[in-house]
Amino acid sequence: MIRNITFTSISVCLVLNAVIAASNISWAQDKVAAKAVELKPVSTFQSITDEKQRSVALFEEAGKVIQHPRCVNCHPATDRPLQNLTMHPHQPPVTRGDGGMGVPGMMCTTCHGSENVPVIGQAETIKSIPGNPNWHLAPIEMAWEGKSLGAICAQIKDHERNGGKSIDQIVEHMGQDHLVGWAWNPGEGREPAPGTQKAFGELIKAWAQTGAACPS
Ligand code: HEC
Ligand code: HEC
């Protein structure tokens, strides 16, 4: 849906034009796959009789989402978010600042609004700007970039590094959180995360119920 041009989107476009003009960066967006990647349902894993093995297999399936660039781009290992399926450093350069909200003059909300906004006139390069009312960077202790699925799994369960969440709260966050849900509605020009948030949430729930075992 193309929204009416508001003052905000005009100023965002001006910022973008300036940024694009000032750099030789390729703004090529995701080559959106013709066929969306699926997630296997929980029932697929019932035949694994060993509960721990089943738990690991469920988490590995959910890992198709967790290690997808749509998630990892916001859980980087440095102070800079990543972009696109190529996971290149965010252009223009922005840093996390206080609470992952950016630094004065380059706050995330300068460009990222409460919803995805189609970009008109840059159709060959950038088709939309991601948006969500809660758009900001995951704290550094929640960095997933460059980590194995097993390491991410251990980190997600670690109260010191998961924002003090219980397993139930992690299940809820993965399956219900609106910012997490953005990954399945990422705006034009971006490949959504595999499956649906509901199917993903069910895998995580079944993983928790089978003891939340981590891949080695
Ligand atoms: C000057 C404008 C601007 C600012 C400030 C800005 N962004 Fe962005 N950001 C963009 C644009 C434009 C895109 C889309 C680029 C593309 O898809 O090629 C984008 C894309 C992203 C993506 C990639 C999403 C994906 O999966 O491909 C992430 C993550 C992101 N921004 C996070 C942030 C965070 C966090 C902040 C604040 C610390 C921030 N941005 C500040 C303009 C900005
Ligand atoms: C726009 C940036 C952004 C995107 C995209 C994003 N996250 Fe996050 N994530 C955050 C922030 C910020 C926090 C910390 C604040 C909070 O708990 O809400 C967080 C925290 C989390 C946590 C809890 C703590 C932990 O152990 O890491 C989980 C789990 C999580 N995200 C999962 C996901 C998944 C799964 C996806 C993709 C489907 C995703 N996130 C995409 C920004 C993002």
Q: Is residue 189 part of a domain?
A: yes
55 torsion bin: left (phi>0), alpha (psi -120 to 50), beta (else): alpha
Per-residue b/e over 152-175, b at no fewer than 16 CB within 10 Å? Answer: bbebbbeeebbeebebeebbebbb
Domain presence at residue 171: yes
126 is a domain residue: yes
Closest residue (by CA) to atom 23 of ligand 1?
83
Ligand 1 lining (C-beta closer than 6 Å): 15-16, 19, 27, 29, 69-70, 73-74, 81, 83-84, 90, 92, 94, 96, 102, 106, 108, 110-112, 126, 129-130, 136-137, 190
**What residues make up the domain containing 33?**
7-209
How does pLDDT run along the chain (216 residues), one tens digit per residue?
444 444 444 455 445 544 443 343 444 578 655 466 899 999 999 999 999 999 999 999 999 999 999 999 999 999 999 999 999 999 999 999 999 999 999 999 999 999 999 998 766 789 999 999 999 999 999 999 999 999 999 999 999 999 999 999 999 999 999 999 999 999 999 999 999 999 999 999 999 999 999 999
Instruction: Write down the pLDDT at residue 68.
Output: 98
Does residue 132 sit within a domain? Answer: yes
CA distance 126 to 123: 6
Distance CA 89, CA 57 (A): 31
Return d(Cα 140, Cα 52) in angstroms, integer. Answer: 30
% helix / strand / coil in the chain, to the nearest 5?
40, 5, 55
How many domains, the chain? Answer: 1
Is 147 among the domain residues? yes
Residue 4: per-residue pLDDT: 43
Instruction: State pTM to two decimals.
Output: 0.91
Q: For residue 131, how far is its CA from the centre of ligand 2 (angstroms)?
A: 14
In this structure, is residue 154 part of a structural domain?
yes
CA distance 41 to 195: 10
214 found inside a domain:
no
Does 41 map to a domain?
Answer: yes
Q: pLDDT value at position 18?
A: 44
